[in-house]
A = this chain, B = another copy of it.
Amino acid sequence: MKKSMGAKSLLYPAPVLVVGTYDSAGKPNAMVVAWGGICCSKPPCVAVSLRKATSSHRNILERKAFTISIPSETFVKQVDLLGIVSGREEDKFAATGLTPVRGQRVDAPYVEEFPLVLECKLVHTLELGRHTQFVGEILDVKADDAVMGPAEDPDVEKLKPIVFVPGSRVYHAVGRFLGQAFSLGQEP
């Protein structure tokens, strides 16, 4: 029997995305976002939702660009600190010891220490209420050699991305392999 919980923003798993931007003075900022995901394959696009009150929201509108850096689980403490300190009051990179690197394709910085980076050009802005959804076209994906698999894609067991759990607001690792998609369902 299912129990009704009312209207809530619950969905599992959610990602941990670090959105990188420059402000009008060129100061790099990094914000942790769990509301986001891929929204188109061709052209490749990603959506992230930010509250209007954030510095990153203003930065994206000004520069029409952002990056997404995906942290490995070894950085979970720094990621959480990024989510606690305010970019308006502190330099988040200094506070966490992380290194901003200027994007090669867009006017936004990414996090050097994180193994996967998406460089995105703003293509749509959708006002939804408390959050604004920004859709970015992914102009390039960069990955550390150390997380690449045998084919041309990253190996999730090397990348070790963090899972965010809305509601109870906890971080989890990615766990064991369950099966190959578009194949498992047809196995006897």
9 A-B pairs with the lowest CB-CB distances in the bound complex, closest first: A175-B175, A153-B167, A81-B185, A80-B185, A173-B175, A37-B37, A40-B128, A12-B161, A2-B142
* A64 interface hit (Cβ, 8 Å): no
Q: Bin the interface of chain A by size.
A: 35 or more
Q: Are B49 and A38 in contact (CB under 8 A)?
A: yes
Asked if A1 is at the interface (CB within 8 A of a chain B CB), the reply is yes
Residues of chain B within 8 A (CB-CB) of A8 are 44, 138, 141
- Contacts A80-B185, A169-B182, A187-B77; is A37 near B12 (CB within 8 Å)? no
Chain A interface helix/strand/loop/mixed? strand
Residues in B whose Cβ lies below 8 Å from that of A169: 180-182
Hey, which chain B residues are within 8 Å of A31, CB to CB?
A: none
Question: Is A154 within 8 A of B12, CB to CB?
Answer: yes
- Chain B residue at minimum C-beta to C-beta distance from A48: B39
Is A25 interfacial (CB 8 A cutoff)?
no
Q: Which A62-77 residues have a C-beta within 8 angstroms of B? A: 68, 70, 73, 76-77
Instruction: Assess whether A165 is interfacial by the CB under 8 Å rule.
Output: yes
Q: Which residues of B contact A38 (CB under 8 A)?
A: 9-11, 14, 34-35, 49, 166
* Smallest CB separation, A112 vs chain B (Å): 8
The answer for the CA separation of A163 and B129 in the assembled complex, in Å, is 28
Residue contacts A-B, CB under 8 angstroms, 28 given: A1-B145, A3-B144, A4-B140, A4-B141, A5-B142, A10-B118, A11-B36, A11-B37, A11-B38, A12-B156, A13-B13, A13-B161, A35-B41, A39-B49, A40-B129, A40-B130, A40-B133, A41-B131, A43-B129, A45-B128, A45-B131, A73-B178, A77-B184, A155-B168, A169-B182, A170-B181, A171-B184, A172-B174
